[in-house]
């Protein structure tokens, strides 16, 4: 899930898409990984603030000096999650 202030500000994205995504996550039908694009005021008050975000240090993509490196790191970490899921569900 690509998360930005605009995403949180959108009633459709926040109320419809996020609710559907969290429902699928809670039932085990999906693995949700929020990718923080820009700094978000009030992140701790969202319904998905307890999910592990990428990058793991919580730094938004926009704050990296090299955004290509940031996205490469996110892709690498997603690959790790996928491999774990494959091993857990052969």
For residue range 6-38, list pLDDT tens digits in order.
888 888 887 888 888 888 888 888 888 989 999
| The pLDDT value given to residue 53 | 86
Spatial CB neighbours of 13, under 8 Å, sequence gap ≥ 6: 7
For residue range 38-50, list pLDDT tens digits in order.
988 887 788 777 8
Residue 55 pLDDT more than 90? no
Residue 47 near residue 7, CB atoms below 8 Å:
no
Q: Please, which pLDDT band fits residue 79 given cuts at 50, 70 and 90?
A: very high
Residue 57 pLDDT more than 80? no
């Amino acid at each position: 899930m690509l998360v930005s202030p605009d995403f949180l500000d959108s009633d459709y994205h926040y109320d419809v898409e996020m609710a559907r995504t969290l429902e699928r996550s809670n039932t085990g039908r999906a693995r949700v990984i929020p990718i923080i694009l820009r700094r978000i005021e009030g992140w701790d008050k969202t319904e998905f603030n307890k999910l592990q975000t990428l990058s793991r240090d919580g730094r938004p993509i926009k704050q990296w000096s090299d955004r290509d490196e940031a996205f490469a790191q996110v892709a690498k970490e997603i690959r790790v999650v996928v491999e774990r899921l494959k091993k857990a569900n052969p």
